[in-house]
């Protein structure tokens, strides 16, 4: 009988070890889940910041495109005018200045660093067309990038929600 009792004691000790090992294994899984969730949340914040930056780039590109299209329309209008025709030049804030066309064949164009040069109106229109084309391509690429980031954001958000549910 003493022998049997010793076996039971020994057996009970093994049960405690197994329970302890199981608990330790469970704690490790919880730690890994928490770590994985934390990584997902950090990734989400990074992608959110990246998306905001790309949206800002997209806004800047769109504004530049609108400005170039407006400039092109103005250049095309001016190229149809004759010397002496009267025009209204916007000064801003709904204010216009009356002016007369002295020449419609050339316009003054900035070449950078505050340097202005006379150029043929048709050349400037071609240059503006090239810039519009390049910016349109950049807008498409930026839109594509934004879409990819959005897809990754959704996927990571779903992963994070799933991890939080499994807690």
The answer to whether residues 76 and 107 touch, using CB atoms and an 8 Å cutoff, is no
Closest CA to 136 of 75, 76, 68, 85: 68
Domain boundaries, the chain: 2-166
Rounded-to-10 torsion of CA 48, 50, 55, 60:
150
CATH topology of domain 2-166: Helix Hairpins (1.10.287)
Does position 77 have pLDDT exceeding 60, yes or no? yes
Share the mean pLDDT of the chain. 85
CB of 47 within 8 A of CB of 149? yes
Say if CB 121 and CB 104 are below 8 A apart. Answer: yes
Q: pTM to 2 decimals?
A: 0.70
Task: Look up tokens 């495109």; give the residue.
Answer: 65
Quote the tokens at residue 65. Answer: 């495109």
111-128 per-position pLDDT tens digit: 899 999 999 999 999 999
């Amino acid at each position: 009988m003493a022998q049997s009792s010793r076996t039971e004691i020994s057996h009970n000790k093994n049960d405690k070890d197994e329970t302890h090992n199981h608990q330790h294994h469970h704690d490790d899984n919880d730690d890994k889940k928490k770590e994985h969730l934390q990584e997902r949340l950090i990734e989400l914040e990074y992608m959110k910041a990246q998306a905001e930056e790309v949206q800002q780039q997209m806004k800047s590109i769109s504004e530049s495109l609108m400005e170039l299209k407006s400039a092109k329309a103005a250049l095309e209008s001016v190229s149809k005018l004759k010397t002496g025709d009267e025009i209204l030049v916007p000064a801003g804030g709904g204010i216009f200045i009356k002016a007369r066309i002295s020449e419609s064949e050339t316009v003054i164009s900035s070449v950078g660093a505050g340097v202005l040069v006379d150029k043929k109106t048709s050349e400037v229109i071609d240059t503006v067309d090239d810039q519009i084309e390049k910016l349109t391509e950049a807008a498409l690429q930026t839109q594509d990038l934004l879409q990819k980031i959005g897809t990754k954001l959704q996927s990571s958000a779903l992963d994070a929600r799933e991890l939080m549910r499994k807690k």
